[in-house]
A and B are shown apart, each in its own frame.
Chain A
Amino acid sequence: MPVRKRSRLPREWWVGYLLIAPFFLLFAAFTAYPMIYALELSFSDWHGAGVLHWIGWSNYTYLLTNADFWASLGNSAVMWLLIVPVQTIGAIAVASALTRSRLRFKKTLRVVVILPYVTPLAAMAQAFILIFDNNFGVVNTVLGWLSGPSVGWLTTTTWAKPTIALFVLWKTSGFALIIMLSAVQGIPTDVYEASAIDGAGAIRTFLSVTVPLVRRTIGFFIVVSTLGISQMFLEPYVLTRGGPYNSSTTSGLYLYNHISASDLGTGAANSFLLVVLVFLLSLFAVRVLRSKED
C-alpha cells in the first residue's frame, strides 16, 4: 500500500488546495466546526435557547453518577453479547461451508442473505413489529400451534433486547457473510489438502485451519461491529422506543433521548463519553490482535 509514497509531480502547491477545497469547505462546515461546537456544549448547560452557561465538568459527573447512563451502557453490552459472537461464528461457518462444498445455488444464497442489508430499516422494522406482535404475530401463532407459551417479544423486559438483537442479526448478517467469504476464499487450497492428508476432519479443519487464517478479518469485523453497536439507536428507537422500562435503551438511544428532550449539554457530554469508550475499546482490540499475531 503506497501510503507514504511522495508524489514526484512538480506541480504548483495551490492546485492541490484547489482540488481539496470543495471537500474541505463542506468538511469544515459540517464536520470540524460541529465537532468543536459539541466539545464546548459538553461543558455547558444549554437547552436550545439563551446563552451558554459554562458549567465545567458537571455534565460529565452527572452522567458518570447516573444509574440510567450505566444502564444504557449495560444494555449495549448485552446487545453486543447477543449479536457479535453469533454473527461472527455463524458467518465464518457458513462462509467456509459455502467455499468448500460443491453445492449449486451458492451464488443465489449469497444474494438472498445480503438482501435484508439493502432494505430500508424503517420499513423492515415495522414488519418485524407485526411478526413479533404478542397477539397477532406470526411467531406467537406458530408457538400457539406447538402449544408453546405466548411471548411478549417486544413488550417484556426479558425479551425486548433479544428480539431487537434478532432483527439486527437478520438485517446485517449478509454483510458479515460477504466479508468472511472474501477472507475464506483467500485461503490457498493446498493448506486444506495438507490438512486432509494429516487426517483432520471437517470440524478440526475448520477450527485449526480456517479460523486462525482469517483471524485478521475476524478482528476487523469485531471492531466494526463494536463501533456500530456502541452507536446503535435506530433499531430500539423504531422497535420499542427503548422500552419497556428502558430495558432496551442502548447508549445510542439514551444519547438521542437527550437530544429530543433538548438537554443538549448533557447529550454532547454523553457523546464524548461514547467517543472515549469507543476509542479505548478499539485500542484494546488492536492490542489483543497484535499480541496474537506475534
Chain B
Amino acid sequence: MTATADISLDGPGGLRRPATARSRIRSLLGYGAMLLIAVLFLYPLFWMITSSFKPGATILNNPLSFNPFHATLHNWRDMFAHVPIVRALFNTAVVVVFKGAVLLVFAPLAGYGFAKFAFPFKGFLFGFVLLTLMLPTLVLIIPLLLEMSQLGWINTFQALILPGAIDAFSVFWMRQTISQIPDELLDAARIDGAGPLRAFRSVVVPILRPALAALAVLSLFNIYNDLVWPIVAINDQQHQTLAVLLAGLSSNVSGSQAGASSADLWGQLMAACTFATIPTVLLFVLLQRHFIRGLLAGSSR
C-alpha cells in the first residue's frame, strides 16, 4: 500500500496529430461531455444554495428560477432564530477536534508498536484487528447503545467521541506505512541514545507526515459527516451534531402540510443545509490534494 502522490491527469495521452476538422469535432464532443457531467454533479448543490436565498413560495412554485436581484436573507434570519444550528456546529467541531486528536495520536503509536516491536501474541492481536475490518458497523450499534446506557453516556460527548475514535483501518494503514521505514534509521536513533518515544518523534513522525496529513483530512470529513452512530447515541438538543439536527429537521417539514407555512420551513431547511455544507466545501477546496491522496491510500490496500 502506497500513499500515491496526487494524480496527474497527463498520463498516457493520445498520439499527437495535427488539428483536423475531425479532431476538432471530437474535442468539442469531449468538452460537451465534460460540461454535462459537471452540470449534473454541481446542480443539486447550486440549487440548494440558491434556494436558501429564495422566498419560500418561489422554491415551491417556480423551483428552477433564480433571480439574484430578488435574493433574500429571510430564510437565513428565520433559520438562525428557530434552529439551534450554531450550537450544533459547535458540537460537531468539538467531536471533530477530540475524535481527530485521539486518532492522530494513538493510531500512529499503535502502528509503530505493531510495525517495529516484537511482543507475545502480536500476530494474534493484529489478526483480530484485521478481522474486525470485515465487520459491518451496524453490528456494533445495538451493543454499543446498551453499553452507553449502562455507562450513563447517552447524550454525552464521550459517547460521540470515544466509540470509533480509532478504527482498525487507521491502525492497519499506519502500520503498513511505518513498516516501510528502514530499521537502520531507528537503530541509528537508538545508538544516539534515543528511547522508543524519542525515536518515534524524531524519526517516524517526520517520514509519516504525508500519510498523517491524508489520514487527518480523510477522518475530518468522515467525522464531520458521520450520521449513523450520532443518530443513535444522541436524542437531545444539547449534544446533537449538525448531521443529526439536519436529519431531524426534514421530518418536521415533511410532516406538515404543503402550503404557505411549509414553504417557509423548506426555505429555512435549505438555509440550514447550506450552512452545514459550507465548511466541508471550503475545507475540501483548501485540502483537496491531501484529500484525494487520502482516498487513494484508503482504496489501494
- Which A residues lie at the B interface, using CB under 8 A? 1-3, 5-9, 11, 13-20, 22-24, 26-27, 29-35, 37-38, 41, 48, 94, 97-103, 105-116, 118-131, 135-138, 141-142, 170, 173-175, 178-179, 181-182, 184-185, 187-189, 192-193, 196, 220-221, 224, 227, 230-231, 233-234, 237-238, 252, 255-256, 259, 264, 267-268, 271-272, 274-275, 278-279, 282
Encoded as 1 (CB less than 8 Å from any A CB) or 0, chain B from 269 to 301 comes to 110111011001101110010011001100110
Count residues of chain B with CB under 8 A from any CB of chain A. 114
User: Is A121's CB under 8 angstroms from B11's CB?
Assistant: no
Out of B63, B135, B258, name the residue touching A141 (CB < 8 Å): B63
B59 to chain A, nearest CB (A): 7
- Which B residues lie at the A interface, using CB under 8 A? 1, 4, 7-9, 11-15, 27, 30-31, 33-34, 37-38, 40-42, 44-45, 47-48, 51, 59-61, 63-64, 102, 105-107, 109-110, 112-120, 122, 125, 128-129, 132, 134-147, 162-166, 168, 171, 176, 179-180, 183, 186-187, 190, 196, 221, 224-225, 227-228, 232, 242-244, 246-247, 249-250, 254, 258, 266, 269-270, 272-274, 276-277, 280-281, 283-285, 288, 291-292, 295-296, 299-300
Given contacts A23-B106, A32-B128, A116-B41, 6 further A-B contacts (CB under 8 A): A30-B165, A118-B291, A120-B246, A122-B242, A187-B11, A231-B136
Interchain Cβ contacts within 8 Å, total number: 338
Chain A residues near B7 (CB, 8 Å)?
110, 178, 181-182, 185
User: Is B254's CB under 8 angstroms from A129's CB?
Assistant: yes
Main secondary structure of the interface of B (DSSP, over half): helix
Chain A residues near B246 (CB, 8 Å)?
120, 122-123, 126
A11 to chain B, nearest CB (A): 5
Out of A20, A37, A179, name the residue touching B114 (CB < 8 Å): A20
Chain A residues near B34 (CB, 8 Å)?
103, 105-106, 109
